[in-house]
Amino acid sequence: MSQLSPISSIAAIAFAMLAATCASSDPGSSADAAAGAAGAGQYKAFAGCTRESAVPATQVGFAEPASYAPRCVRVSAGASLVIQASTMHPLQGMTDNGDTPNPIAEGEPSTGYLQDTTFTFPKAGSFGFFCNVHGSDTSKSGSMTGVVYVD
């Protein structure tokens, strides 16, 4: 039987620890999926956002480098949210919200050059959104992604 070098042993232990950490802290866990099925919205921890970290807002702007500011927002049911645009960003809403459709429609190119867009959120839930150019629907924390939490 061959022995592992000390460096190989350390690397194997570090890899095992990393794998265990990622498996136990996945924001897309079955608990989050169950919350989504219960109407709380699937995007509970999308974009590095949580309901607790969301700030009350009436508008979302842009920050450098290529991100929404704020990207974790909270509004009351029936309220409107303005997505401000300083340049063209094709905004995409995520649709997996159970029976509550996302007011930011899937595939909707909703911001143009200096063209703000307003969305009204009639029902409670959590609604993910992202820029088709600088974000993605699988991003757990980065770039142009965000969540609107509606109370």
The rounded distance, in Å, linking the Cα atoms of 81 and 72 is 12
Residue for token pair 């109370």: 151
Task: Pick the closest to residue 48 from 151, 132, 142, 138 (CA basis).
Answer: 142
In order of their start, the domains of the chain are 30-150 (2.60.40.420)
Sequence length of the chain is 151
Q: What pLDDT is stored for residue 140 in this prediction?
A: 55
Instruction: State whether residue 25 is helix, strand or coil.
Output: coil
Is the pLDDT at 19 greater than 70, yes or no?
Answer: no
93-148, pLDDT tens digit by residue? 776 566 677 787 755 555 666 778 888 999 888 888 888 777 766 655 557 888 99
Query: What are 31-85's pLDDT values in tens digits?
Result: 333 333 333 445 555 778 888 999 999 999 888 778 888 989 999 999 999 988 7
- Work out the average pLDDT over 20-36: 33
Instruction: Give residue 138's pLDDT.
Output: 63
